[in-house]
């Protein structure tokens, strides 16, 4: 880490140029003999990304940002805060510390946290930022976290890992055994040092495959932010366990949707029904969970079709997703729909339907937006239908099983 980047004049220049075109700025070169224009541009780019992803770090003075690839791979403040809510106790070790966002928030919950990072430059940056932000209970180790565990006599309450999900050629990998470090390969070592292990993986990892690879999974947390699944978190315990609990959370600007149930690969199908008065669309975290029958049971709703993943009920109920009032149901017929529609704008969604949204919009000459929501789907009688709906706004936090 080039400490000259922290000079007050350099920091002032960086802040003043947050809106400047970086390509043009780089062509002008650096006004500072000890700092290259590339280093300055990297800090500007880091601050730009941090404004939304890491607002408290963006607001703090003296924070140094790593190369873009490291910043892109780090957790957001929202997801790091959520992870920190899962741990407690005396000591935690972050074996794959990276930029240190997760470590920083773990340190709010633990007495001591050790940050391990094999990239010495990244380790220096993380150490500087911890000191700058007043996190005195974090120790940093520049080196391989797995080797640190192998050589230390310490035991921990928690071990946290966020394995790198790229191969030697920069391509993405999804199985845990393909990541670095190979967590399944090191489970014996990990459980010899801690009773609890927390692992962050790609949201694309298949739940059944992950359970099979890891074994002693106690909980799986599916974390979604603004209707986009960001992380899968695997809580493991060394004792023998039965079925893991799947906990979903969808963190919105004014709402937190929670839902949970036991993982069961042989769960029965959800009950079916023709459309009733209300329609429900599960949020992405619930969709990832596969808890479709559990959703019906806990919310008192019915699915429209085994493969449609839309729910309905006669009475309005809390639901982990979007809620709608069904205004009209029509069979799928372009001629009939054109005749019935009295508006030129609508929000269009397809579920278990053969045509994509773009084709439907073109056929019906519908612009995007407005107050109407059209769901093109298939009912339990395998008929193609369209449901014309009005969205129901939430006036309270939904917190099933919280």
For residue 171, name the pLDDT band (cuts at 50, 70, 90): low
336-377 confidence digits (pLDDT tens): 999 999 999 999 999 999 999 999 999 999 999 999 999 999
Predicted confidence at residue 397, as pLDDT, reads 37
Predicted confidence at residue 169, as pLDDT, reads 46
For residue 168, name the pLDDT band (cuts at 50, 70, 90): low
Q: Residue 390: is its pLDDT beyond 60?
A: yes
Predicted confidence at residue 267, as pLDDT, reads 76
**Distance in angstroms (rounded) separating the CA atoms of residues 358 and 348:** 9
131-148 confidence digits (pLDDT tens): 999 999 999 999 999 999
292-308 confidence digits (pLDDT tens): 999 999 999 999 999 99
Predicted confidence at residue 93, as pLDDT, reads 98
Q: Residue 201: is its pLDDT beyond 60?
A: yes
Q: Residue 239: is its pLDDT beyond 90?
A: no
Predicted confidence at residue 70, as pLDDT, reads 86
Q: Residue 289: is its pLDDT beyond 70?
A: yes
What is the average pLDDT score of the chain? 92
Predicted confidence at residue 401, as pLDDT, reads 39
Q: Is 144 exposed, middle or buried (0-12, 13-18, 19+ CB in 10 A)?
A: middle
Q: Residue 241: is its pLDDT beyond 80?
A: no
83-116 confidence digits (pLDDT tens): 999 999 999 999 999 999 999 999 999 999 999 9
> Averaged over 303-332, what is the pLDDT?
96
* Higher local confidence (pLDDT), 54 or 174: 54
Predicted confidence at residue 170, as pLDDT, reads 54
Predicted confidence at residue 398, as pLDDT, reads 42
pTM summary value: 0.91
């Amino acid at each position: 880490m080039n400490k000259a980047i922290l000079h007050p004049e350099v920091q002032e220049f960086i802040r003043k140029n947050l809106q400047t075109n970086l390509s043009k700025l780089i062509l002008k070169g650096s006004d500072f003999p000890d700092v290259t224009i590339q280093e300055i541009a990297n800090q500007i780019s880091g601050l730009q990304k941090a404004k939304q992803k890491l607002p408290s770090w963006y607001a703090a003075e003296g924070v140094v940002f790593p190369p873009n690839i490291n910043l892109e791979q780090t957790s957001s403040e929202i997801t790091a805060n959520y992870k920190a809510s899962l741990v407690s106790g005396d000591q935690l070790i972050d074996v794959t510390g990276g930029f240190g966002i997760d470590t920083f928030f773990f340190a709010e919950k633990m007495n001591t946290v050790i940050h391990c990072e094999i990239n010495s430059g990244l380790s220096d940056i993380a150490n500087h930022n911890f000191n700058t932000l007043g996190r005195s209970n974090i120790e940093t180790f520049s080196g391989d976290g797995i080797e640190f565990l192998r050589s230390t006599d310490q035991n921990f309450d928690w071990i946290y890992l966020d394995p790198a999900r790229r191969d030697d050629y920069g391509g993405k990998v999804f199985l845990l055994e393909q990541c670095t470090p190979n967590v399944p390969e090191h489970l014996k070592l990990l459980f010899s040092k801690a009773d609890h292990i927390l692992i962050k993986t790609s949201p694309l990892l298949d739940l059944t495959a992950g359970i099979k690879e890891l074994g002693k999974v106690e909980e799986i947390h599916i974390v979604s932010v603004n209707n986009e699944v960001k992380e899968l978190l695997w809580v493991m315990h060394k004792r023998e366990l039965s079925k893991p609990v799947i906990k979903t959370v969808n963190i919105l600007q004014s709402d937190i949707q929670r839902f949970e149930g036991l993982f069961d690969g042989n769960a029965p199908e959800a009950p079916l029904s023709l459309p009733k008065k209300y329609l429900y669309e599960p949020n992405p975290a619930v969709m990832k969970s596969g808890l479709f029958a559990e959703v019906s049971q806990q919310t008192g709703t019915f699915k429209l079709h085994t493969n449609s993943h839309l729910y309905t009920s006669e009475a309005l109920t809390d639901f982990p997703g979007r809620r709608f009032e069904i205004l009209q149901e029509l069979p799928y017929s372009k001629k009939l729909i054109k005749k019935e529609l009295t508006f030129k704008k609508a929000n269009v969604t397809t579920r278990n339907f053969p045509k994509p949204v773009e084709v439907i919009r073109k056929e019906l000459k519908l612009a995007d937006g407005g107050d109407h929501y059209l769901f093109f789907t298939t009912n339990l009688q395998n008929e193609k239908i369209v449901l014309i709906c009005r969205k129901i706004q939430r006036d309270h936090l939904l917190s099933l099983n919280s």
